[in-house]
């Protein structure tokens, strides 16, 4: 059962179109798995539509013209417009819906079906370090890096915090840390206030977004730097 969701503010920014593509994709993928957030997004979308409609009505009211002031040439234009609409709607052409194609990705002999939101995103070749695998998603967002991160069964990331923010969205499998267990669909947003040591006993695939490297809080940091750079 999904227990971790985007904040209300993040959902509102998503509906308003204010998020970068990486975070917007994360919210969209989570919403596809989470009926609760689907309903919230639908409500927010309806509110935005109502506000836009009210603004449009107020704007158009400034340009209302008395019917007696309409000139004959205006009627001719309207008639032509009606004829054009009638011609379009009378067309017998049927637009054929293209079948949905599934995009697959494989890590360590495990194959996963990617969420629809990722179908048209460029995915780099996977790289590996120990039981961690990472395939970068190319979105050209400067310091914001987006990836698919795979942990093989028994894999883990040393205890760390974050210099910036990190979104981890579980696409498959599970992992756990001191705060509990995370399952498919969980949307986990962390920053420098959070310390954790993720461990996956069964293996997992995550969609990750980060805008800075990890900061390790145990061990010799210099030895762990390659892992931090790899994940970021």
Q: Quick check: is 166 in a domain?
A: yes
Q: Are 133 and 213 members of one domain? A: yes
Q: Quick check: is 162 in a domain?
A: yes
Q: Quick check: is 38 in a domain?
A: yes
Q: Are 225 and 111 members of one domain? A: yes
Q: Quick check: is 95 in a domain?
A: no
Number of domains in the chain: 2
Question: Of residues 181 and 162, which shows the higher confidence score?
Answer: 181
User: How far apart, in whole angstroms, are the C-alpha atoms of residue 5 and residue 34?
Assistant: 9
CATH number reported for the structural domain that contains residue 221 in this entry: 2.60.120.10
Q: Quick check: is 174 in a domain?
A: yes
pLDDT of the residue at 215:
74
Domain containing residue 124: 104-231
Q: Are 60 and 26 members of one domain? A: yes
For the cut 70, the answer to whether the pLDDT of residue 8 exceeds it is yes
For the cut 50, the answer to whether the pLDDT of residue 90 exceeds it is yes
pLDDT of the residue at 159:
84
For the cut 80, the answer to whether the pLDDT of residue 88 exceeds it is no
> Domain ends where: 36, 65, 89?
89
Q: Are 58 and 117 members of one domain? A: no
Q: Quick check: is 37 in a domain?
A: yes
pLDDT of the residue at 102:
83
For the cut 60, the answer to whether the pLDDT of residue 212 exceeds it is yes
Q: How confident is the model at residue 33 (pLDDT cuts 50, 70, 90)?
A: very high
pLDDT of the residue at 54:
55
Q: Are 111 and 18 members of one domain? A: no
Q: Quick check: is 98 in a domain?
A: no
pLDDT of the residue at 84:
62
pLDDT of the residue at 75:
43
Q: Are 164 and 188 members of one domain? A: yes
Q: Quick check: is 77 in a domain?
A: yes
> Domain ends where: 63, 89, 115?
89
Q: Which two tokens stand for residue 139?
A: 């979105």
> Domain ends where: 89, 120, 146?
89
User: Concatenated DSSP letters for 89-149?
Assistant: HT----PPPPPP---EEEETTEEEEPPGGGTTSEEPPPEEETTEEEEEEEEEETTEEEEEE
SS3 197: coil
Residue pLDDT, tens place only, 146-170: 999 999 999 998 888 878 899 999 9
């Amino acid at each position: 059962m999904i227990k971790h969701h985007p904040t209300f503010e993040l959902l509102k920014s998503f509906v308003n179109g204010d998020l970068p593509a990486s975070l917007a994709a994360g919210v969209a993928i989570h919403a596809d798995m989470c009926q609760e957030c689907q309903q919230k997004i639908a409500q927010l979308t309806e509110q935005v539509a109502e506000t836009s409609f009210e603004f449009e009505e107020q704007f158009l009211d400034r340009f209302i013209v008395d019917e007696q002031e309409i000139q004959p040439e205006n009627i001719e234009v309207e008639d032509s417009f009606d004829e054009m609409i009638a011609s379009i709607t009378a067309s017998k052409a049927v637009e054929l819906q293209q079948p949905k194609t599934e995009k697959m990705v494989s890590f360590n002999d495990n194959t996963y079906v990617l969420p629809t939101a990722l179908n048209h995103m460029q995915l780099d070749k996977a790289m590996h370090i120990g039981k961690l695998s990472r395939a970068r998603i190319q979105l050209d967002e400067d310091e914001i890096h987006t990836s698919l991160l795979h942990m093989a069964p028994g894999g883990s990331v040393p205890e760390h915090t974050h210099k910036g923010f990190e979104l981890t969205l579980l696409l498959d499998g599970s992992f756990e840390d001191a705060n509990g267990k995370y399952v498919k669909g969980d949307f986990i947003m962390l920053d420098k206030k959070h310390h954790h040591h993720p461990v996956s006993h069964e293996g997992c695939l995550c969609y990750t977004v980060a805008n800075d490297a990890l900061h390790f809080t145990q061990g010799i940091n210099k030895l762990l730097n390659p892992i931090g750079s790899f994940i970021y």
